[in-house]
Chains A and B, each alone.
Chain A
Amino acid sequence: MPDDNKKTPLLDELEKGPWPSFVKEIKSAAESEPMAADLLGQLELSYQEKISHWKHGGIVGVMGYGGGVIGRYSDVPEKFPNVAHFHTMRVNMPSGWFYTSEVLRKICDIWERHGSGLFNFHGSTGDIILLGTRTDQLEPTFQELTHLGFDLGGSGSVMRSPSACVGQARCEWACYDTMDLCNEITHTYQDELHRPPFPYKFKFKFSGCPNDCVASIARADLSIIGTWKDDIQQDNAAIAEYAAAGVDIQKDVCDHCPTKCMEWDGKKLKIQNRECVRCMHCINVLPKALRPGKEKGAVVLIGAKAPILQGALLSSVLIPFVPADELLETLKELVSRIWDFWGEYGNNRERVGELIQRVGMATFLDAIGLDPVPEMISAPRDNPYIFFKKEDAEAAGDGNGAAAQR
Chain B
Amino acid sequence: MPNYTSHGRVYEVDEDGFLQDPSLWNEEVAKDFMATEGIGDLSQDHWKVIRYIRDYYLQFGIAPMVRKVCKQTGFSLKEIYNLFPSGPAKGACKLAGLPKPTGCV
Contact = CB atoms under 8 A, between A and B. Distances in A.
A56 B102 contact: yes
Contacts of A117: none
Tell me the interface secondary structure of chain B in the complex: loop
B55 interface: no
A343 B104 contact: no
Contacts of A297: none
B25 interface: no
Contacts, number: 67
A131 B85 CA distance: 24
Query: Which of B66, B85, B101, B103 has most chain A Cβ within 10 Å?
Result: B103
A348 B81 contact: no
A57 B102 contact: yes
Contact of B67 (A65, A66, A71, A197): A197
A5 to B, nearest CB: 22
A156 B81 contact: no
Contacts of B78: 191, 195
Interface string A79-123: 000000100100000000000000000000000000000000000
Nearest to A77: B15
Interface residues of B, number: 22
A59 B104 contact: no
Interface in B64-105: 65-67, 77-78, 81, 85-90, 100-105
24 contacts: A55-B15, A58-B15, A58-B16, A59-B16, A59-B103, A61-B86, A61-B87, A61-B90, A63-B86, A66-B86, A66-B87, A66-B88, A70-B105, A156-B103, A156-B104, A191-B77, A191-B78, A195-B81, A195-B87, A197-B77, A199-B65, A199-B67, A200-B104, A201-B104
Interface of A: 55-61, 63-66, 70-71, 73, 85, 88, 155-157, 191, 195-197, 199-201, 308, 343-344, 348-349
